[in-house]
Amino acid sequence: MLRFKLRAFWGMMVVAFLTVGGCAPSIQVARLETAHRIPTEGDIIIYMRPESVPWPYDEIGILTARTGDCMRDCGNRKVALIRERARRLGADAVIIVSQGTQHGGYVHIPGVLPMSMAVSVDVIRAIAIVQQR
Protein backbone atom coordinates (compact mmCIF):
# COMPACT_ATOMS: atom_id res chain seq x y z
CA MET A 1 0.00 0.00 0.00
CA LEU A 2 2.82 2.40 0.85
CA ARG A 3 4.47 1.64 -2.48
CA PHE A 4 1.25 2.52 -4.35
CA LYS A 5 0.95 5.79 -2.41
CA LEU A 6 4.54 6.72 -3.28
CA ARG A 7 3.94 5.97 -6.95
CA ALA A 8 0.74 8.00 -6.92
CA PHE A 9 2.52 10.87 -5.17
CA TRP A 10 5.40 10.96 -7.67
CA GLY A 11 2.98 10.56 -10.55
CA MET A 12 1.05 13.60 -9.40
CA MET A 13 4.33 15.50 -9.00
CA VAL A 14 5.22 14.71 -12.63
CA VAL A 15 1.78 15.87 -13.78
CA ALA A 16 2.12 19.08 -11.73
CA PHE A 17 5.60 19.74 -13.15
CA LEU A 18 4.46 19.17 -16.73
CA THR A 19 1.42 21.38 -16.21
CA VAL A 20 3.06 24.28 -14.40
CA GLY A 21 6.65 23.94 -15.59
CA GLY A 22 5.59 23.59 -19.21
CA CYS A 23 4.26 27.13 -19.19
CA ALA A 24 7.68 28.79 -19.40
CA PRO A 25 8.12 30.31 -22.85
CA SER A 26 10.99 29.28 -25.11
CA ILE A 27 12.07 30.73 -28.43
CA GLN A 28 13.89 29.55 -31.53
CA VAL A 29 15.62 32.04 -33.79
CA ALA A 30 16.60 31.38 -37.40
CA ARG A 31 18.81 34.11 -38.85
CA LEU A 32 18.16 34.90 -42.51
CA GLU A 33 21.37 36.88 -43.01
CA THR A 34 24.97 36.34 -42.03
CA ALA A 35 25.75 39.92 -41.01
CA HIS A 36 25.35 40.74 -37.33
CA ARG A 37 23.47 43.96 -36.62
CA ILE A 38 23.67 46.24 -33.62
CA PRO A 39 20.78 45.55 -31.19
CA THR A 40 17.89 47.95 -31.65
CA GLU A 41 17.31 50.76 -29.17
CA GLY A 42 13.70 51.64 -28.42
CA ASP A 43 10.47 49.81 -29.02
CA ILE A 44 9.97 47.02 -31.56
CA ILE A 45 6.76 47.54 -33.55
CA ILE A 46 4.51 44.51 -33.99
CA TYR A 47 2.47 44.13 -37.17
CA MET A 48 -0.20 41.49 -37.63
CA ARG A 49 -0.04 41.40 -41.45
CA PRO A 50 2.73 42.09 -43.98
CA GLU A 51 0.46 44.59 -45.74
CA SER A 52 0.39 46.70 -42.56
CA VAL A 53 4.09 47.58 -42.75
CA PRO A 54 4.23 51.16 -44.13
CA TRP A 55 7.76 50.94 -45.58
CA PRO A 56 9.80 48.53 -47.72
CA TYR A 57 11.64 45.99 -45.58
CA ASP A 58 14.09 43.11 -45.53
CA GLU A 59 13.51 39.97 -43.49
CA ILE A 60 16.39 39.21 -41.12
CA GLY A 61 15.07 36.37 -38.96
CA ILE A 62 12.27 33.95 -38.14
CA LEU A 63 11.21 33.77 -34.48
CA THR A 64 9.15 30.92 -33.05
CA ALA A 65 7.96 31.27 -29.43
CA ARG A 66 6.38 28.31 -27.63
CA THR A 67 4.75 27.64 -24.27
CA GLY A 68 2.94 24.67 -22.83
CA ASP A 69 -0.67 24.84 -21.69
CA CYS A 70 -1.16 27.45 -19.01
CA MET A 71 -3.97 29.56 -17.70
CA ARG A 72 -2.02 32.75 -17.10
CA ASP A 73 -0.69 35.41 -19.41
CA CYS A 74 1.39 33.19 -21.72
CA GLY A 75 0.54 35.13 -24.89
CA ASN A 76 1.98 38.36 -23.53
CA ARG A 77 5.10 36.57 -22.32
CA LYS A 78 5.67 35.05 -25.77
CA VAL A 79 5.22 38.44 -27.46
CA ALA A 80 7.65 40.05 -24.98
CA LEU A 81 10.17 37.29 -25.71
CA ILE A 82 9.74 37.81 -29.47
CA ARG A 83 10.27 41.56 -29.02
CA GLU A 84 13.42 41.02 -26.97
CA ARG A 85 14.94 38.57 -29.45
CA ALA A 86 14.02 40.83 -32.41
CA ARG A 87 15.75 43.69 -30.59
CA ARG A 88 18.91 41.55 -30.21
CA LEU A 89 18.80 40.75 -33.94
CA GLY A 90 18.71 44.49 -34.73
CA ALA A 91 15.15 44.43 -36.12
CA ASP A 92 12.97 47.52 -36.51
CA ALA A 93 9.74 45.52 -36.27
CA VAL A 94 8.22 42.04 -36.37
CA ILE A 95 5.34 40.62 -38.37
CA ILE A 96 3.27 37.95 -36.61
CA VAL A 97 2.68 35.35 -39.31
CA SER A 98 0.86 32.68 -37.30
CA GLN A 99 -0.34 31.81 -33.84
CA GLY A 100 -2.15 28.81 -32.50
CA THR A 101 -1.87 25.50 -30.72
CA GLN A 102 0.14 22.49 -31.84
CA HIS A 103 -0.96 19.15 -30.44
CA GLY A 104 2.06 16.97 -29.84
CA GLY A 105 0.47 13.73 -28.68
CA TYR A 106 0.48 12.08 -25.27
CA VAL A 107 2.99 11.44 -22.52
CA HIS A 108 2.55 8.09 -20.76
CA ILE A 109 3.47 8.09 -17.08
CA PRO A 110 4.60 4.53 -16.25
CA GLY A 111 3.99 2.98 -12.87
CA VAL A 112 1.15 5.34 -11.95
CA LEU A 113 -2.20 3.91 -12.73
CA PRO A 114 -2.77 3.60 -16.46
CA MET A 115 -2.44 7.32 -17.09
CA SER A 116 -1.42 9.46 -20.04
CA MET A 117 -1.36 13.22 -20.35
CA ALA A 118 -2.13 15.16 -23.53
CA VAL A 119 0.62 17.53 -24.59
CA SER A 120 -0.12 20.68 -26.55
CA VAL A 121 1.99 23.75 -27.17
CA ASP A 122 0.94 27.33 -27.92
CA VAL A 123 3.05 28.77 -30.73
CA ILE A 124 3.58 32.25 -32.18
CA ARG A 125 5.71 32.64 -35.32
CA ALA A 126 7.03 36.02 -36.40
CA ILE A 127 9.40 37.48 -38.96
CA ALA A 128 11.95 40.06 -37.79
CA ILE A 129 12.31 42.88 -40.31
CA VAL A 130 14.41 45.99 -40.93
CA GLN A 131 13.52 49.01 -42.97
CA GLN A 132 15.29 49.13 -46.34
CA ARG A 133 17.73 52.02 -46.50
pLDDT of 35 strictly over 80: yes
pLDDT in tens, 97-106: 988 776 666 6
Beta carbons of 68 and 121 less than 8 angstroms apart: yes
- Is there a contact between 58 and 129 (Cβ–Cβ < 8 Å)? yes
pTM above 0.75, yes or no: no
pLDDT, tens only, 43-85? 899 999 999 999 999 999 999 988 765 545 565 788 888 999 9
Quickly list DSSP for 60-116: EEEEEEEEES-SSSHHHHHHHHHHHHHHHHT-SEEEEEEEEEEEEEEEEETTSSSEE
Pairing verdict, β 45-47 and 93-109? parallel
Q: What percent of the chain has pLDDT over 70?
A: 62
Is 124 in contact with 118 (CB distance < 8 Å)?
Answer: no
Rg of the chain over all Cα atoms, to the nearest angstrom: 20
Alpha helices in 2-42 (DSSP H): 2-16
Q: Does the pLDDT value for residue 92 go beyond 90?
A: yes
Domain spans of the chain, in order of start: 2-131
